[in-house]
Every structure is written in C-alpha cells, then in structure tokens.
Amino acid sequence: MNKLLQVGIRVQVALATALLLVGLTVLMSFVVGKRSGADLQKQIGLGVSDIARQMADELDRTMWTHRGEVSVLSTLSVLQELEDTQQISSIVNRLSREIPIFTWIGVLDRDGTVVASTNDLLLGANIAQRPVFQYGKNGQFIGDVHDAKLLAEKFPLYNGEPIQFVDIAVPLFNNNDQFTGVLATHLSWEWADNVRKTLFAGQGIHRAVDIFVISADGTVLLGADGALVGSSLELDALQQAQRNNVGWKISTWPDGAEYLTGYAPADGHLDYAGLNWSILVRQPVEEALEPVYILRRDIMAWGLVLSIISSVIAWWGAGFFVGPIGKMARSIEEMKRGEIERLPDFDGAREIKILSNSLNALLAKLTEKDAALGQMEHIAHHDNLTGLGNRLALDVYFEHALAHADRHKTQLAVMMLDLDDFKPINDKFGHSAGDDVLREVAKRLRRCVRGGDLVVRLGGDEMVVVCHVGESGEGEATMLAERILNDIQMPFITGGNRVSIHMSIGIALCPVHGKTIDVLLNQADDALYAAKARGKNCYVLASDEGEPSGSKSSLA
C-alpha cells in the first residue's frame, strides 16, 4: 500500500512538474521570442532599406556626374561654332572611348541634322523630331530610360533584350549667344544593371537580394535578370518611396509571394533633381527572417530540454529530495551572494548528484551564451573587413559623445574621409590588395586619433572620424586632419607592390554645423565634395568651403 502510494506521488510530482514547466516554457518562449524576434526583424528590415537608399544614391550620383560632364563639354568653342566637324568628331569619339557609358554622342545643327557623332552613327540623319533635339534646344534635358529606336540595330542585345538609353542633351550657343545646335548623348542603361549586380554582393544575410529601379509611373526599368522589366507595379512599398520615404515593409508581390521589401526614392543629388525613380529591394520573407525563426526555435528547444531534464529529476527524487534540496537551496543562495562559484557535490541519492551536475552545466552554458551574445553584439557594431565601427556603432557612440560634450561644454568634430582614386588599386592589383590597403588605412586612422575617439567605416573606401575637441574646435580638427593626410600619404606595401594613395576630408563641427549625426554627416559630406573639387588630397571645413582649409602642397 505504501509502495503504491509512493509510486503515485512520484507520478503526480513528475506530471505536475512537467506540465508546469512546459507551460512556463511555452509562455516564456512566446514572450521572449516575440520581443527578441521583433527587434531582430527590425534590424534586418533596416538593412534592406539601407541597401535601397545606397542604390538610389549611387544612381543619382552617377547621373549628376555625367550631366556635369555633358555641360562642360558643351562649353568648348569648337562645338559651339560647329565649323570644324572633323575635330568635333575626334572629340566625341575620344570621349566615348574614355567614358564607355556614353554609348552615343551626337552634335546636331540648328535644324536637327547630325553633323558629328560616335563612330559616325546617324551622321547626316535629321533627328529633329526626337526628344533630345525637341527638348535639348530649349535647355538642359535629361530623358528617362527608353528603347533605342534609331540605334537598336547598331548595338548588340543586352540580356537578350534591345539596349536601352538615358538621354542627356544641352543647347549650343556661339559667342554671339546665337543658337547653333544641340549636344545630344545616349547613356547605356547597362551601367545601372552593373551597379545592381555588384554594389551589394556578399553582404551577409542580404547577399541574395533583388534590386529594382521603378520609374515615376510605376514601370519597372531594371530588375534582377530582367525580372518584371516593362511591367507596372502597384505595391504599398512603392507608394511609400514615391512619397520620398525610406523604410521597409513586408509586401505581397505580383507572383503572390511575400517579400521583405526595402524602399527609397532616387530624389537627386545636389543640384540634380533626379528623374523621380524609386528603388525597391526585396528578399523572400522566409530567407530574410530566417535568423528570427532560428532564434525562436532555439529558445523553445532549450526550454523544452530544460523541462524534460527537470521532470526526470522530479520523478526520481520525489521520495527523498526534501533534505538534500534544502542544502542545495542554501548553496544556491550562497552562489547568488557570490560566496561560491559552483554548486558543491552532494552526498546522497544519485538524483541529487544529477541535479547538481545539471545545474552546474546549465550555468556554464548560460555563461557561454552570455559570452556569445557579447561577441554577436561586437560583430553587429563592427565592420568585418577593417574591424572599425559601422553605422550602428556611430549612432550609439554619437549619442553618448554628444551628452558628454554638452556636460563639459566642448565640441565634437565629425570628419568624412574618402580615399582618392582608390578604384585603380582594385583594378590593377585585385580586390585583395584593395582590402589590404583598407585594413592598413584603418590601422593608421586608429593611430592618429585618441583613445576616446571613434573611427567608422560606412562602406567602400568611405570612413568617418568623430573626435572630442575643445573650445578651439576648428584648430584641433584641422590639426587632426593634417596628421591623417600626412600619415595616409606614406606608401603602402601590399603583395610586394608599393602603392601610394591619398585622401580627401570634409569636416563639420557640433554644435556649430548641427547637433544630429545625420545633419553633421551631410555637412561633412558636402565639405568632402568641395575637397574633391579642389584637386583632392586636402581637407575642407564645412563653415569655410569658399576657401581651402588644407591641401597636399601646404602639408608637404
């Protein structure tokens, strides 16, 4: 009778313990998994939207650059007078060779007849009815993506489809301010597809994203391997981008599948207003949110494992646990107070020893998980290539640095740094050599700044330095800029090759030029472009962009 009663109690304790722990595990897993999953999902979504924003910025910067090149070309007197067509032909052919994105360049007289062109294509043809002449004769014209109606047979297919162009045209006037013709150019749309393919290759969980460029009327201009090109999209994410918003959503696409969709507008660059393109970046939800699902699954699995272990212990120890458990409870209290580091081995039933060992193993695993979480946090805040901080680290650091500066009545200097002519290193020596140079640049930058300052890599060869400066913020910031320029200009050795490279720097001061990191980065970025415009290898202070604040010659 007593034996049956004992067995019944053990069964009841085991079942009650199992049900209680399973219920608590499910509840805890749901709450913790939902909260952690939501945070992780937000970070993944922000990563996709950041890709869209970077793609939009790359397109706008490229169009801005080539628009300026066409405007400068139109100021040549030989083009304005339209007298020496042989020299004009030589100029346009050389420009097409040097800058292949200009697939076709044509100089039209006042009647719309082509008098000089790339490889003499359409030479002598009258294209007065084409938009490049109709709009170009009235002022600078930038035409959206279109098929090559007159040149379709002159160029090979791209991805099995006829080549497409973006137009840039400007009017030509002679010295008497008389209209003499139009300089018309066709930019191959292939360059945008190359940006799409290479700009974000191999970026962690976002390495398999699809990037789309959408026109103002919702027509797909560019897609992954031609997907959806020419079709019209109606997505809530597209509507957000057309309202000049940047963000991400989970959207259902025309194929009926759900995608994590980042969106951003291509709203121009500097004085280039843009063509009202929208950028969408999508990734299948199951693939994009896989880390979220893994996190939730691991939380549930570990909870269930703990439930099973505890239930087994309860089954075997129900009859004689009271005494040893009391001792164990006291030992746990001592551990909580820091008096001991691990539970001691208890004499008695085998179940007591199992429980003691299991708890010690669990504590060890929790310690390992804490260390792993710390490592994950470090990875999330640092650039894999250089070990420098990333944009997330910059946002976190700036918030604390700004509070420190406010308390101590000091200033912050935000420097935007960009390597001059870095691409030729990759082209000549390979990307591994370029990576070596970037790592060495990171080391030199760390060497130049103080311990409490921050060096960040935003992407590519673009870096940011945030440092504390005193009341004479401008002087300290420019001294640091000079030190960086002097250090960077020292030769690099990579793969047995001696490489020389220089750097341009834009500087903004907080609170002089702004009190938010976005405003300061924009100010520093504008100053950086001013430094590039002055011949590179120099620094420019945002408040003094009219006069050079430093140059290679003054630092040598």
List active site positions. Answer: 461
43: Cα separation from own chain's centroid:
13
Report d(CA 350, CA 338) in Å as an integer.
27
Paired tokens of 435: 């990576």
For 46, residues 6+ apart whose C-beta sits below 8 A from its C-beta are 248
Q: How far are the Cα atoms of 82, 92, 112, 127, 475 from residue 134, in angstroms, in the given order? A: 19, 21, 9, 9, 53
Which among 21, 13, 54 is positioned nearest to 5, based on CA atoms? 13
For 266-408, where are the alpha helices, taking DSSP H only? 285-288, 290-317, 322-336, 350-380, 391-408
Which stretch of DSSP H or E encloses residue 467? strand 462-469
CA distance 484 to 267: 33
Closest CA to 114 of 104, 126, 103, 102: 126
Axis-axis angle for helices 190-198, 2-73 (nearest 10):
150
Main-chain phi, psi angles of 9, to 5 degrees: -65, -40
The H-assigned helical ranges of 74-153 are 77-81, 85-98, 131-134
Count the neighbouring beta carbons within 10 Å of the beta carbon of residue 143.
19
**Cβ distance 462 to 420 under 8 Å?**
no
Cα–Cα distance between 536 and 313 in angstroms, integer? 72
Q: Are 357 and 365 in contact (CB under 8 A)?
A: no
Decide the pairing of beta strands 277-284 and 258-266: antiparallel
Nearest 5°: the CA angle 550, 551, 556 is 110
End-to-end CA distance of the chain: 100
* Residues whose CB falls within 8 Å of the CB of residue 449, separated by 6 or more in sequence, listed in order: 455, 465, 467, 480
